[in-house]
Structure 1
Amino acid sequence: MRTELALSADDLARTRFAVSPMWEVVTSLRVLAQPVVPAPHRHWAAQVRPRLAAAGPAVRRLAAMVPPTGHLPDFLNPVPATTTPALADELAAITATSPELVRADLAVLAAERGGPLPAALEPLHRDPAARLPRIAADIEAYWELALAPYWARIRALLDADVLHRARQAVGHGTARVLDDLHETVRWDGRGSGALRLEQRHCAVERLDAAAGLVLVPSVFAWPRVLTRALPPDPPQLAYPARGIATLWEPRPAAGAPDTLAAVLGRSRARLLAELDAPASTTDLARRTGLSAAGASQHLTALRAAGLTSAHRAGHAVLHARTALADALLDPARP
């Protein structure tokens, strides 16, 4: 399918970027639904799948709404109100979705399945207003298990992509930005101008949509471009951010713990170095040779300094490095 989105001068003037937590929620669920996880995300999937398997019905309800292919429910991706909306803001928009839109999305899912809705989604179809807060809680639970421990790393890559596009716009104009988003997206400057998308699964139209276009860099959308076109909202286009191939690569900090030890102490520098992937206090104590109580005390200090974050995963707490800690451990890394 070749789709054309006409863009007027007003549309171009109102085109903007947004980093959306909900787009990462939806696209990461789609990654996990694949029979074979795409190579760039296998390291991440191997870490989060055991946590999700123990999470119970919350994740199953979400997975039922995000099949490996086909329609993505529009109500799960409200238009980002700002450049960097908080997850809580997007969840508030989801819980305010009209029952008609929720049922329309679920009807498309059922039609694509060629049968009835999954049992997990029947309560949502019967009473969307009553069940949407439960869906929002499910999303929060999934976020804490699958994305929050990695958000500093993900967010840094998404912010870097937006900065790169902004520099492109300053140096070469908006047309260059639109023409460089993805191999299947092309800017056609003939006539009044249009954005052409050449993917069979991708559709977007101007029709009665509001002016502008919201461009959303995404880690988990790779390798596709995804769209949301739901008038009167402006169209959204989620595209793979630059640098995804290296996102989950281990980040060795050769020599960094020694250089940081004079400031942080050897134990805390070692704990930071061990947090290339999120880990529990018990696991970190075992790997560093510290007592559980000692590791906990050091992690508390690191968290207070903004170098780590803590995220509930069932009965355990996962600790993760922040972007600031990554920069301290490897200052030469972009």
Structure 2
Amino acid sequence: MVRYELTGADLSEVRFAISPLNELTLSLRALRDPGRFPLHLPWLRAVEAADLDREALLALTNQRLWTPDFLNPRPRDPLARLEEELEVVAATPPPRVRADLDAVHFDAVGRPAALDGLPQAVLRRVLAALRDYWEACFEPHWQRMRAVLEADIVHRGRTIVHSGMATMFADISPRVVLADDLLTIRLVTSKVDYRRTTAGIGLTLVPTLFSLNPSTPISADEPPVMFYPARGLGTLWTTDRPRAPHALRDLIGETRSGLLTMLEAPASSTELAVRLGVTAAAVNQHLRAMRAAGLLTSARHGRSVLYLRSDLGDRFIDAAR
């Protein structure tokens, strides 16, 4: 169990961030145990064909699906870039590299062969393996992945505005509770147990597509971070067209009725285009028309514009049903 003390003004220091490196590292859980991540199976089939240093990659996690803290640094920017994050990792002191890897494999009979050798050499191999993994398996899909993560953050922000911080945390997971400025995170493992304040540092919340439950750094010395499962994972790899009510399709057409049906959760035009199997230009034209009619709202997050059904759009769907 991890407890973060969010005292006084620190509640205003709760921030969200998206981290390509953390997605890359946490995805190693799916490589080690694909059965726990059935929604990623379409992506995992493509990963199987990639030419990767699998020995090094799989050595970065264990049976509990832990990953080394130095590979999960707190994002310095809400929209961090992978190369900037890898530079931070490359500067990790050798004793820290060895200690964090040993913390992951503390109960193993022997250290994985890929982690043998001087820490500097191990770190170079790990960085090379992660770069190859990114280029082959993440870069082609990152725009779509990022859209789902950004949509989650927009949803959390709306929840904070309308219902408060405690409701937002409760919506993440029953394992996360904010009471009297104390955030309690019940981890799956009992091996991690500490309490620390966020005073002067703040708390960073990082949505991820590769976590079934909320998680935190292993060590209490790390800056306060909580990784949590992002909403919308079920839509990430699907290309099915949603079936809108017949009356709605007859009224506004197949594509617009499909978009309106899908936008009960925020999404970008890029994500919507992939899911509908049409061009982004065509989707944008429909989205602008429906927003002008009051059926959608939009908000910018980083480089993306996220769309969401408005109250009028909700009533429109309900009436058609």
Conserved 8 A contact 2:215-2:226: yes
Could you tell me which runs of 5 or more consecutive residues in structure 2 were left unpaired when the two chains were aligned. 243-252, 256-271, 291-306, 309-321
5 Å-filtered alignment, 1:269-288, equals none
Distance 1:10 1:97 in 2: 32
Could you tell me which runs of 5 or more consecutive residues in structure 1 were left unpaired when the two chains were aligned. 257-272, 277-320
1:201 is aligned to 2:189: yes
Which residue is equivalent to 2:164?
A: 173
What CA deviation, in whole Å up to 9, does each residue of 1:94-148 have, x standing for no partner?
Answer: 00112121111122233222x221111112xx233x4423322221100111111
When residues 103 and 47 of structure 1 are mapped into structure 2, their CA distance, relative to the original with a 3 A threshold, is same
1:80 alignment partner AA: P
Which residue is equivalent to 2:119?
A: 127
1:62 is aligned to 2:57: yes
When residues 204 and 234 of structure 1 are mapped into structure 2, their CA distance, relative to the original with a 3 A threshold, is farther
1:211 is aligned to 2:201: yes
1:195 alignment partner AA: L
When residues 79 and 106 of structure 1 are mapped into structure 2, their CA distance, relative to the original with a 3 A threshold, is same
1:188 is aligned to 2:179: yes
Distance 2:286 2:116 in 1: 49
TM-score w.r.t. length of structure 2: 0.72
Distance 1:63 1:139 in 2: 11
2:207 alignment partner AA: P
When residues 96 and 274 of structure 1 are mapped into structure 2, their CA distance, relative to the original with a 3 A threshold, is same
Distance 1:243 1:144 in 2: 24
5 Å-filtered alignment, 1:84-233, equals 84-113=79-108, 115-123=109-117, 126-128=118-120, 130-189=121-180, 193-201=181-189, 203=192, 205-207=194-196, 211-221=201-211, 223-228=212-217, 230=219, 232-233=221-222
Conserved 8 A contact 2:148-2:232: yes
Distance 1:226 1:323 in 2: 37
Conserved 8 A contact 1:6-1:195: yes
3-state DSSP of counterpart to 1:43 = helix
CA RMSD of aligned residues (A): 3.2
Which residue is equivalent to 2:15?
A: 16
TM-score w.r.t. length of structure 1: 0.69
Which residue is equivalent to 1:249?
A: 238
Conserved 8 A contact 1:204-1:228: no
Question: How far apart are 1:3 and its partner, in Å?
Answer: 3.7
Distance 1:220 1:248 in 2: 13
Distance 1:84 1:61 in 2: 27
Distance 2:224 2:216 in 1: 7
What CA deviation, in whole Å up to 9, does each residue of 1:168-199 have, x standing for no partner?
Answer: 2222332222222212111113xxx2112223
Which residue is equivalent to 2:225?
A: 236
Distance 1:171 1:154 in 2: 26
Question: How far apart are 1:207 and its partner, in Å?
Answer: 3.3
Percentage of identical aligned residues: 32
Equivalences, count: 262
Question: How far apart are 1:204 and its partner, in Å?
Answer: 5.9
